Amino acid sequence: MLRIALAQINTTVGDFNHNIKKITEYIMQARKMSVDVVVFPEMAVTGYPPEDLLYKKHFIQDNLAALHSIAGQTKNIAAVIGFVDADSKGNLFNAAAVFYNGKVSGIYHKAELPNYGVFDEKRYFVPGTNNSVFLLGKIKFGISICEDIWTKNGPCYAQARSGAKVLINISSSPYHAGKGKEREKMLKEQAVFNKAFVCYANLVGGQDELVFDGGSCIVDPKGKFLAAGKQFEEDLVVADLEVPAAVKVSKNAKVKNIVIDKIYSRPSRLPIKGRITKKMGRIEEIYQALVLGTRDYVQKNGFKKVVIGLSGGIDSSLVAAVACDALGNKNVIGVTMPSKFTSRETRKDAHILADRLGMRVLEIPIGPIHTVYLQALHNEFKNTKPDTTEENIQARIRGNILMAFSNKFGWLVLTTGNKSEVAVGYCTLYGDMAGGFCVLKDVPKTVVYELSDFLNAREGRQVIPQSVIDRAPSAELRENQKDEDSLPPYKVLDPVLKEYVELDYSLSALNKKWSHPFLLKITEMIDKNEYKRRQAPPGIKLTPKAFGRDRRFPITNRYKER
């Protein structure tokens, strides 16, 4: 029997002291439970992804020093820890070290390096060629890292063929809605295919645009869960595995045998039954990803409080609710900035929302400022008609006011745009786009509604007033403005955006499927607003393809389909 613990910790990029402290705490916790092997996520020492910090030699050295500082904690317990390894030529490897009794028994280098989507691993790492299996007493296990286990005939297969009955995978696998199911399916298939236990330790926490969802789990060789950890929280996932003793197998020249402890004998102990945490539903998952992503961005960047422009609309209402969940309502300040185009209803709703969330709200009317701008520009604009220029000035006045609060009091500005708006550029650069973090950047408008309904249902009350949910969306930058004056209804728009942005459908394929008159206009809006997105604040990735590092588009782009 092998008692294994998956330590699903929340690391911080570059904070070696913090990460090592976490690792030490979880080793101690595992030791108290008489665990044989405790496993930490991919690059637990450095945090993930450290990006170009990896180009700094001293960063690599500090990571190695931090890693080895753990050695003393591993008496009678094996610890598998993700870090960055380097060879004498300066090549870097995404690596896992196995510590036991104060020494490194062996090291594994990730073989499959993802270099798509948000991943740039071939920018930094050399693929590993040191596949190994580890022997602890009579139990043989293999270690792989994230992407390695997503290929069927990859390192895990070679380990199983070399007699490994336990396949440990350490991951820092970024969340997107629906990925959990894919991952589960893949892990079960790997367990069955390789006739081995699969132990999957995933990172949890937010890092810039990424959220890691945890959900570490253990699958038995029949493809059944023995244990499954929490989502979006730290956790220690423990289970007892009835592993058959290792038998001699035909040697595979490509897989090394590493003996951790030949005569390892397990302490006598009461059995532990793995806990299987129930998976969240789709919308709850997205909501929790927003909460964790927001909390970690704010706090890991040294902020305590955030400020949000409350318009009385659904986007800012949802952002305020998420922020209160993430940081506590005492740390969230709303600012309403009414103009003559702000309706009495939206103004009232902003205050009702703040009241229901128990958050502070300030009011700064922007009318007088807008008037002085128009006076200042009057001469130069005198032969022109009012257009979006005058609208954008208002949005930018609001941006300036929020940033003034940020500068004066050290509050981080959360912006309130959603993915539908960011996609078509229905937002003002330096106006409503001004701020440190765009919570809903990867949430289509239709999902904004689903999340609001979810929140109200969870709370059993109208946290977000029904009038906010029911009112036709409007930017309120001119008289009687409605989003649908410039855009198709979001229920029509959102599926098109998904197909064009995330799935790379061609315009002709879209025309064939939808035959809407606006398709050309919409796709052109998406393309030409890349310049706005390039200057947008970061936001949480929630879909298979988010704006930001995930979708790398040229601004200068004259491509028109033939």
Residues marked as catalytic: 42, 110, 146
Under 8 Å between Cβ of 166 and 199:
yes
First-last CA distance in the chain:
64
Residue from 43, 536, 540, 546 in contact with a second copy (CB under 8 A): 536
Of residues 76 and 115, the one with the C-beta less far from a second copy: 115
13 scored as a contact of a second copy (CB under 8 A) = yes
CA dist 40 and 31 (Å) reads: 14
DSSP string, 277-291: PPPPPHHHHHHHHHH
Q: In the set 10, 12, 162, 194, which binds a second copy (CB under 8 A)?
A: 12
**Residue 276 to residue 257: CA distance in whole angstroms:** 33
Piece of the chain touching a second copy by CB under 8 A; list 181-189, 351-359, 426-434, 487-495: 426-434
**How many other β-carbons are positioned within 10 Å of the β-carbon of residue 75?**
11
Based on CB atoms, which residue is closest to a second copy, 227 or 526? 526
User: For a second copy, how many residues bind (rule: CB under 8 A)?
Assistant: 85
Which residue in the block uniquely carries the two structure tokens 């001293």? 58
Confirm or reject binding of residue 481 to a second copy (CB under 8 A): no
Binding mask 60-79 for a second copy (x = CB under 8 A): --x--x--------------
Interaction pattern, residues 160-199, with a second copy; x per rule: CB under 8 A: ----------------------------------------
- Of residues 274, 312, 488, 537, which one binds a second copy by CB under 8 A? 537
Residue 91 makes contact with a second copy by CB under 8 A:
no
Q: Which is nearer to a second copy, 171 or 406 (CB)?
A: 406
Query: Shortest gap between Cβ of 174 and a second copy (angstroms)?
Result: 14
**Would you say 165 or 295 has its CB closer to a second copy?**
295
Contact between 82 and a second copy by CB under 8 A: the answer reads: no
Handedness of CA 448, 453, 457, 459 (dihedral sign): positive
Give dist(CA 288, CA 322) in Å, integer: 9
Residues 298-327 that bind a second copy (CB under 8 A): 300-301
Shortest Cβ 214–a second copy spacing (Å)? 18
Closest contact distance (angstroms) between CB of 452 and a second copy is 28
What is the closest distance, in whole angstroms, from the C-beta atom of residue 560 to a second copy in the complex?
8
Dist CA 315 CA 311 (whole Å): 9
Cis before residue 554, ω within 30 degrees of 0? no
Indicate whether 153 belongs to the interface with a second copy (CB under 8 A). no
89 binds a second copy (CB under 8 A): no
Segment interacting with a second copy (CB under 8 A) among 140-148, 180-188, 204-212, 450-458: 204-212
Contact 557, 527 (CB under 8 A): yes
The Cα-based distances of 428 to 97, 397, 421 in angstroms read 48, 11, 10
Pairing of strands 235-241, 225-228: unpaired
561 is a site residue for a second copy (CB under 8 A): yes
Asked if 391 and 477 count as a contact pair (C-beta separation under 8 A), the reply is: yes
Tell the smallest beta-carbon distance from residue 562 to a second copy (Å): 5
Q: What is the DSSP string of 361-415?
A: EEE---HHHHHHHHHHHHHHHTTS---HHHHHHHHHHHHHHHHHHHHHH-PEEEE
In the range 395-424, which residues lie near a second copy by CB under 8 A? 396-397, 399-401, 403-405, 407-408
Q: Tell me the closest approach of the beta carbon of residue 96 to a second copy, in angstroms.
A: 21
Q: Whose structure tokens read 């782009």?
A: 557
Whether the Cβ atoms of residue 211 and residue 180 lie closer than 8 Å to each other = no
Instruction: Give the sheet arrangement for strand 225-228, strand by strand.
Output: 225-228, 217-219, 197-202, 166-171, 139-145, 132-136, 256-261
Smallest distance, Å, CB 72 to a second copy? 18
C-beta of 392 vs 467, nearer to a second copy: 392
Cross-strand partners of 235: 8
Contacts of a second copy in 240-299 (CB under 8 A): 296-297
Q: Return the number of the residue (141 or 505) whose C-beta is nearest a second copy.
A: 505
Residue number, 13 or 104, with CB nearest to a second copy: 13
- Please report, to the nearest 10 degrees, the dihedral formed by the alpha carbons of residues 295, 299, 300, 301 taken in order: 120
CB of 254 to a second copy, least distance (A): 22
Tokens of 329: 């309502």
State the Cα–Cα distance between residues 202 and 214, nearest whole angstrom: 5
Which residues, including other chains, have CB under 8 Å from residue 345's CB and lie 6 or more apart? 312, 467, 471
Q: Does 382 bind a second copy (CB under 8 A)?
A: no
Subset of residues 21 to 50 that bind a second copy, contact rule: CB under 8 A = 49-50
Q: How far apart are CA 517 and CA 488, in angstroms?
A: 10
User: Binder to a second copy among 373, 454, 514, 518 (CB under 8 A)?
Assistant: 373
Beta bridge pairs of residue 125: 92
- Work out whether 376 is an interface residue with a second copy (CB under 8 A): yes
Binding to a second copy by residue 56, rule CB under 8 A?
yes
CB 499 within 8 A of CB 397: no
For a second copy, which residue of 222, 253, 270, 380 counts as binding (CB under 8 A)? Answer: 380
The one-letter amino acid code at 530 reads E
List binders of a second copy among 110-139 (CB under 8 A): 115-116, 120, 122-123
Q: How far is the CB of 372 from a second copy (least distance, A)?
A: 5
CB of 20 to a second copy, least distance (A): 11
Among 384, 458, 491, 512, binds a second copy (CB under 8 A): 384
Stretch that binds a second copy, among 28-36, 99-107, 152-160, 551-559 (CB under 8 A): 551-559
Q: What string marks each residue from 482 to 521 as x (binds a second copy by CB under 8 A) or -?
A: ----------------------x-x-x-------------
